């Protein structure tokens, strides 16, 4: 019989939610309301601050008394490791789960990311490790490589004062033979992705005969990613007598069925999200046409991108396009998607943590398991496939009790999906405007002032003290010879540092209509059918007269859509900009005919980009882009 833990905040049994694969179905018909912050806030007045990373190593002395964790009966080596990490009071999920797991019970836990659940299962399982046994005793399955690495690192931190405990992460993309060698030397804790764990089990290199406990972390994500059959296979290979721990942010029917089949009389724990946790992330949406997303993104980063930023896109191709466009504008960024080798992924995440990378453009591969406290802004460049993905994306900011911002880009036709996302998070997502020139200029001035203030407060490094002394001597010399004030010298130095790059945005006359589409100005008679058999020519400023050919730096292409297809210039520009990342201002004249159109594009576009454009569909028809030779 299933019982429910009577610890604080854990008396509510999880509810079921159906997660659809399709975007519209998931957002409109399959929303997990039981986890919404507004619904659950009234359930909890817990004062503790739940956090996956309560402190960094070194923030507390090893002799610090960890009274909150001592009451669980954890061994002294774990208490010392927790003191070294700075952990003093358990979060609600830890207070509820640790006693049950210390008794050896199976556990079914429902908690959102960032609530401290890794420590909730890692500490009691480490407490029961036999350090003399060299075969795996604990196996943790995680849906992504990033989460597997994060969980293994957490186990290593908690086992820092237990030298006999060895932890190994198993995931694809790393050397299989190296993993085999480490397994042969003796490992007590294995954390891995289902595919790589299955590979080792089939090869006979992962011996689970002495396994005491299995943890399924982020089970709903494994369901969404198609790993449930793999998880079932692993469960069937384990010893009949073992402890099973299942954690999931939601409880769809399939996860509930697995728990009923493989968990024996489990303790059930549900941790509700506190109102403070929900409101510390400010959520806003920006209504923007597809072809204006890149320029809007650059403006949002300029005005609001303080600290680390993660931009989530739906496909690998879009991550590359966005990153290249940002780098062309001078933004230091990195890409994280399924095509990036694992070693490079790990270095990228470390650079993001260290502040060497400010902007990360990623697919949902980074939505789970990426714990970087300095992330202050998450941008959903594309609407996620389902509401749960949105919840986990925005959960990358507002970590460890900090405040964060989340911005969602929506096209007009995606507006209807907004309500579903609001239901998923339990609060309103506020509208916002594209940052104006004035906002961007003010942010640039604030950044300059902040950098100067920080520099004045920082001590001069020893290797540069001589250089600084020489600079001071130059300033004094100029001050005497030119008879200028310190303010004049400081201003000259700032101008020298700024160089030719303007500090402020120079306002320009608008080049598009308020709706963001490239339309004609003046007489639109031909658009109304007055000359439907002829042609109408456009550039980004409006209609133009007949031209013999493209400009010197442009090439002319034909696309197989025209007036008959109810095509407008904005449709063509939007499709090309969205697929290639090419800014609208770099697209030349568009000539619309009855059954086709021509468009001028910059010379030297890569062949693979042109090949992609041939398959792009506008108004339900492929462009079938072909190069024209103009005589």
- 499 by Cβ neighbours in 10 Å (0-12 / 13-18 / 19+) ranks as exposed
Domain 3-47+91-275: CATH architecture, name and number where available: 3-Layer(aba) Sandwich (3.40)
The answer to whether 280-439 and 525-627 have equal CATH topology is no
The four Cα atoms 104, 108, 114, 116 give a dihedral, to 10 degrees, of -20
**What's the rounded mean pLDDT across residues 49-77?**
54
Q: How far apart are CA 62 and CA 241, in angstroms?
A: 37
Q: How far apart are CA 195 and CA 226, in angstroms?
A: 11
Q: Is the pLDDT of residue 619 over 80?
A: no
Q: Is the pLDDT of residue 159 over 90?
A: yes
Q: Is the pLDDT of residue 495 over 50?
A: yes
Q: How confident is the model at residue 56 (pLDDT cuts 50, 70, 90)?
A: very low
pLDDT of residue 46: 32
Chain centroid to CA 106: 32
Q: How confident is the model at residue 401 (pLDDT cuts 50, 70, 90)?
A: low
Pairing of strands 359-362, 308-312: parallel
How many other CB atoms sit within 10 Å of the CB of residue 552? 6
Look at 243-252, 399-408, 577-586 and tell me which has the smallest mean pLDDT: 577-586
Q: How far apart are CA 393 and CA 377, in angstroms?
A: 11
Q: How far apart are CA 277 and CA 47, in angstroms?
A: 11
- Fold classified for 280-439: Rossmann fold (3.40.50)
Give the dihedral sign, CA 111/112/116/118. Answer: positive
pLDDT of residue 437: 82
Pairing of strands 281-287, 617-618: unpaired
Look at 206-220, 477-491, 519-533 and tell me which has the smallest mean pLDDT: 519-533
Question: Can you read off the two tokens belonging to residue 547?
Answer: 């031209």
Look at 19-28, 333-342, 389-398 and tell me which has the smallest mean pLDDT: 19-28
586 vs 228 pLDDT, higher one: 228
Q: What percent of the chain clears pLDDT 70, i.e. is strictly above it?
A: 77
Question: Can you read off the two tokens belonging to residue 178?
Answer: 């190296």
Q: What tens digit of pLDDT does each residue of 249-294 get?
A: 778 888 889 999 999 999 999 876 544 455 688 999 999 988 889 9
What lies within 8 Å, CB to CB, of 185 at 6+ separation is 134, 166
Distances (CA, A) of 384 to 3, 69, 363, 406: 36, 38, 10, 13
pLDDT of residue 278: 53
Q: Look-up: residue for tokens 């002294």?
A: 76
Domain boundaries, given as residue ranges, for the chain: 3-47+91-275, 280-439, 525-627
What lies within 8 Å, CB to CB, of 527 at 6+ separation is 520, 536
Q: How far apart are CA 137 and CA 140, in angstroms?
A: 10
Q: Look-up: residue for tokens 């120079």?
A: 506
Q: Is the pLDDT of residue 195 over 80?
A: yes
Look at 62-76, 170-184, 283-297, 344-358 and tell me which has the smallest mean pLDDT: 62-76
Q: What tens digit of pLDDT does each residue of 142-153 get?
A: 988 878 888 998
Pairing of strands 536-539, 590-592: antiparallel
Q: What tens digit of pLDDT does each residue of 298-331 get?
A: 999 988 877 789 999 988 889 999 998 888 877 8
Question: Can you read off the two tokens belonging to residue 568?
Answer: 């407008």
Q: Is the pLDDT of residue 609 over 90?
A: no
The phi and psi torsions of 135 (rounded to 5 degrees) equal -95, 155
Q: What's the CA angle centered on 492, arms 491 and 497, to 5 degrees?
A: 95
pLDDT of residue 35: 36
Q: How confident is the model at residue 627 (pLDDT cuts 50, 70, 90)?
A: confident
In contact, 407 and 431? CB cutoff 8 Å: no
Q: What's the CA angle centered on 96, arms 54 and 386, to 5 degrees?
A: 70
How many other CB atoms sit within 10 Å of the CB of residue 331? 17
pLDDT of residue 63: 36
In contact, 90 and 48? CB cutoff 8 Å: yes
Q: Is the pLDDT of residue 375 over 80?
A: yes
Q: Is the pLDDT of residue 57 over 70?
A: no
pTM, to two decimals:
0.47
Q: How far apart are CA 55 and CA 36, in angstroms?
A: 27
Q: How far apart are CA 109 and CA 43, in angstroms?
A: 17
Report the number of secondary-structure helices (H) and strands (E) in the chain: 23, 23
Identify which of 135, 108, 134, 136 has the alpha carbon closest to the alpha carbon of residue 121: 108
Out of 3.30.1490, 3.30.200, 3.30.70, 1.10.3470, select the CATH number for domain 525-627: 3.30.70
Q: How confident is the model at residue 98 (pLDDT cuts 50, 70, 90)?
A: very high
How many other CB atoms sit within 10 Å of the CB of residue 419? 14
In contact, 155 and 163? CB cutoff 8 Å: no
What lies within 8 Å, CB to CB, of 461 at 6+ separation is none
Question: Can you read off the two tokens belonging to residue 298?
Answer: 């650059």
Q: Is the pLDDT of residue 1 over 90?
A: no
- The H or E element that residue 226 is part of is none
pLDDT of residue 122: 94
**What's the rounded mean pLDDT across residues 580-584?**
69
- 609 by Cβ neighbours in 10 Å (0-12 / 13-18 / 19+) ranks as middle
Q: Is the pLDDT of residue 67 over 80?
A: no
Q: How far apart are CA 32 and CA 54, in angstroms?
A: 28
Q: Reading across the β-sheet that carries 243-248, which strands appear in turn?
A: 3-4, 267-270, 107-110, 243-248, 213-216, 138-141, 189-192, 167-170
Question: Can you read off the two tokens belonging to residue 66?
Answer: 């960890």
DSSP 339-381: TS-HHHHHHHHHHHHHTS--EEEE-GGGTSS---TTEEEEEES
Q: What tens digit of pLDDT does each residue of 345-373 get?
A: 888 888 888 888 889 999 886 555 677 88
Look at 52-66, 387-401, 551-565 and tell me which has the smallest mean pLDDT: 52-66
- 405 by Cβ neighbours in 10 Å (0-12 / 13-18 / 19+) ranks as buried
Q: Which of the listed ranges 404-413, 431-440, 458-467 does the model predict with the highest average pLDDT?
A: 404-413
Q: What tens digit of pLDDT does each residue of 219-240 get?
A: 888 887 788 899 999 999 999 8
Look at 209-223, 269-283, 562-576, 600-614 and tell me which has the smallest mean pLDDT: 269-283
In contact, 82 and 68? CB cutoff 8 Å: no
Q: Is the pLDDT of residue 555 over 70?
A: yes
pLDDT of residue 198: 95
The phi and psi torsions of 565 (rounded to 5 degrees) equal -90, 10
Across all residues in the chain, what is the average pLDDT?
77
Q: What percent of the chain clears pLDDT 90, i.e. is strictly above it?
A: 26
Identify which of 592, 590, 589 has the alpha carbon closest to the alpha carbon of residue 533: 592
- The H or E element that residue 37 is part of is helix 37-41
pLDDT of residue 541: 38
The four Cα atoms 469, 471, 476, 477 give a dihedral, to 10 degrees, of 120
**What's the rounded mean pLDDT across residues 239-249?**
91
């Amino acid at each position: 019989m299933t019982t429910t833990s009577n610890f604080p905040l854990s008396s509510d049994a999880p509810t079921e939610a159906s997660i659809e694969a399709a975007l519209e179905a998931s957002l409109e018909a399959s929303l997990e309301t039981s986890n919404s912050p507004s619904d659950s806030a009234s359930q909890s007045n817990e004062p503790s601050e739940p956090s996956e990373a309560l402190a960094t190593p070194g923030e507390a002395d090893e002799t610090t008394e960890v009274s909150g964790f001592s009451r669980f009966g954890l061994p002294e080596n774990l208490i010392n490791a927790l003191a070294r990490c700075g952990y003093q009071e358990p979060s609600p999920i830890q207070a509820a789960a640790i006693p049950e797991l210390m008794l050896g019970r199976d556990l079914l836990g429902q908690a959102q990311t960032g609530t401290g659940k890794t420590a909730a299962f890692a500490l009691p399982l480490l407490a029961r490790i036999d350090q003399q046994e060299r075969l795996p005793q604990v196996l943790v399955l995680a849906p992504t490589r990033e989460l597997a690495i994060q969980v293994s690192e957490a186990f290593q931190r908690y086992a820092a004062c237990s030298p006999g405990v060895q932890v190994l992460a198993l995931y694809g993309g790393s050397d299989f033979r190296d993993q085999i060698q480490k397994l042969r030397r003796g490992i007590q804790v294995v954390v891995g992705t289902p595919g790589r764990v299955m590979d080792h089990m089939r090869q006979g290199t992962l011996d689970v005969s002495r396994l005491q406990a299995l943890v399924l972390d982020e089970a709903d994500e494994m369901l969404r990613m198609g790993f449930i059959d793999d998880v079932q296979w692993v469960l069937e290979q384990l010893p009949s007598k073992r402890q099973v721990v299942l954690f999931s942010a939601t409880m769809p029917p399939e996860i509930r069925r697995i728990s009923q089949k493989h968990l024996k009389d489990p303790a059930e724990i549900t941790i509700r999200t506190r109102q403070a946790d929900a409101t510390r992330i400010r959520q806003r949406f920006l209504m923007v046409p597809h072809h204006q997303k890149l320029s809007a993104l650059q403006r949002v980063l300029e005005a609001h991108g303080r600290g680390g930023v993660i931009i989530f896109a739906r496909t690998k191709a879009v991550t590359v396009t966005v990153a290249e466009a940002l780098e062309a504008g001078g933004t230091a960024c990195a890409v994280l998607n399924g095509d990036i080798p694992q070693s490079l992924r790990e270095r990228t995440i470390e650079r993001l943590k260290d502040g060497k990378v400010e902007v990360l453009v990623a697919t949902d591969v980074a939505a789970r398991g990426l714990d970087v406290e300095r992330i202050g802004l998450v941008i959903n460049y594309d609407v996620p496939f389902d509401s749960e993905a949105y919840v986990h994306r925005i959960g990358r900011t507002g970590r460890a009790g900090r405040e964060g911002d989340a911005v969602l880009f929506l096209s007009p036709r995606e507006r209807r999906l907004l309500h579903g996302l609001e239901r998923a998070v339990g609060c309103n997502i506020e509208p916002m405007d594209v940052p104006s020139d004035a906002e961007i200029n003010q942010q640039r001035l604030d950044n300059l002032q902040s950098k100067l203030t920080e520099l004045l407060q920082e001590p001069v490094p020893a290797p540069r003290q001589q250089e600084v002394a020489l600079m001071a001597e130059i300033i004094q010399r100029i001050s005497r010879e030119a008879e200028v004030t310190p303010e004049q010298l400081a201003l000259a130095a700032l101008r020298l540092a700024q160089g030719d790059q303007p500090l402020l945005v120079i306002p320009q006359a608008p080049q598009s209509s308020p709706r963001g589409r490239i339309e004609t100005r003046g007489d639109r008679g031909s658009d109304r059918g007055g000359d439907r058999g002829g042609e109408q020519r456009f550039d980004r400023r409006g209609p133009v007269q007949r031209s013999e050919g493209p400009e010197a730096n442009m090439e002319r292409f034909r696309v197989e859509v025209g007036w008959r297809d109810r095509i407008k210039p904005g449709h063509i520009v939007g499709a090309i900009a969205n697929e290639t990342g090419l800014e609208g201002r770099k697209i030349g004249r568009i000539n619309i005919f009855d059954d086709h159109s021509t468009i001028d594009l910059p010379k030297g576009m890569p062949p693979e980009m042109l090949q992609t454009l041939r398959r792009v569909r506008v108004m339900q028809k492929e462009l079938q882009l072909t190069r024209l030779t103009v005589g």
